[in-house]
Amino acid sequence: MQFQLQTVKRRRLHEDIVQQFHALIREGALKQGDRLPAERELAEQFQVSRSSVREAIRSLELQGLVVSRPGAGTFISTETLDSVVTLLASTLNAGTDVLRDAFEMRHLLEPPIAALAAQRATSAEVARLREILEEQQRQIDRGDTGVEADTDFHFALAAATHNAALIKVVSAVEDVLQHSRGQSLEEPGRRQRSLASHRRVLARVAAGDATGAQQAMAHHLAVVEPSGLQALEPTA
């Protein structure tokens, strides 16, 4: 017999406290500039130790919701961008689909990245990309999905833009997608098509053709995108 089990989230005390403050701020009970009760007093009210109160305040501070001033107290500070992000995330966080978001982000980023790479890639970087595609061919030949080489290709392409910020974001997105990509590459035909469109991208990059590289990447994404995910073309 199978039970319908759900992971039991062991809540730590400070997390519980943080959530209570989130609610208070969201409901307007705590407004910009308000002073929180002293840590010792909060500890008594929540019936926890001061350590737990402090860890909670540390979280709130990192989220930009409060600021602590020694000798003065801890104050609500909801003017920053961080705080807006935090509250937004805490309200909508439950049902968001990470995978869909990541696919969408890739759709936005990768084509212009290919264009930038075409303009800036050094010969060494082009050689590196070529190497990766050869490795992908070998992986496919021996029955593998080639997902590692696939990820490497996108990362190396981002590296060729010489933009540190882009590289970091792409590495994050690729990390998230690597698992899912394994599935979409299960169908044998797809592996070859993915490799073929990679080659077209590389050809345009090597030629320094920014526009062509951008289009080739857009086409590649359309090929490898799991069917049913039409992130950029909703019914509007």
Partner DNA sequence: ATCATCAAATTGGTCTGACCACCGGACAGG
Partner DNA sequence: CCTGTCCGGTGGTCAGACCAATTTGATGAT
Which of 87-95, 130-138, 196-204, 222-230 is the region at the interface with a second copy (rule: CB under 8 A)?
87-95
Residue range at the interface with a second copy (CB under 8 A); choices 33-41, 116-124, 136-144, 215-223: 116-124
Among 23, 29, 88, 222, binds a second copy (CB under 8 A): 88
74 binds, among a second copy, DNA, none (CB under 5 to 8 A by kind): DNA
Do residues 178 and 98 make contact, with C-beta atoms less than 8 angstroms apart?
no
Q: How far apart are alpha carbons 98 and 37 in whole angstroms?
A: 37
Tell how many helices (H) and how many strands (E) occur in the chain. 10, 2
Cα 191 from chain centroid?
A: 25
By a kind-dependent CB cut-off of 5 to 8 A, residue 38 interacts, out of DNA, a second copy, none, with DNA
The window from 130-138, 139-147, 163-171, 222-230 that contacts a second copy (CB under 8 A) reads 163-171
94 with 223: CB under 8 angstroms? no
Question: Which residues make up the interface to DNA (CB under 7 A)?
Answer: 10, 12-14, 36-41, 43, 47-52, 54-55, 57, 68-74
Question: Which residue type does 76 have?
Answer: I
Q: What's the residue count for the chain?
A: 236
- The tokens describing 145, both together, are 């999905």
Contacts of 25 (CB under 8 A, 6+ apart): 65, 76, 78, 87
Minimum separation from the CB atom of position 64 to DNA (A): 15
> What is the per-residue burial (b if ≥16 Cβ within 10 Å, else e) of 165-182?
ebbebbeebbebbeebbe
Q: Residue 108, interface with a second copy (CB under 8 A)?
A: yes
User: In the complex, which residues of this chain contact a second copy (CB under 8 A)?
Assistant: 10, 14, 51, 54-55, 58-59, 62-63, 70, 79-85, 87-89, 91-93, 95-96, 98, 101-102, 104-105, 107-109, 112-113, 116, 119-120, 151, 155, 159, 163-169, 171-176, 208, 210, 232, 234, 236
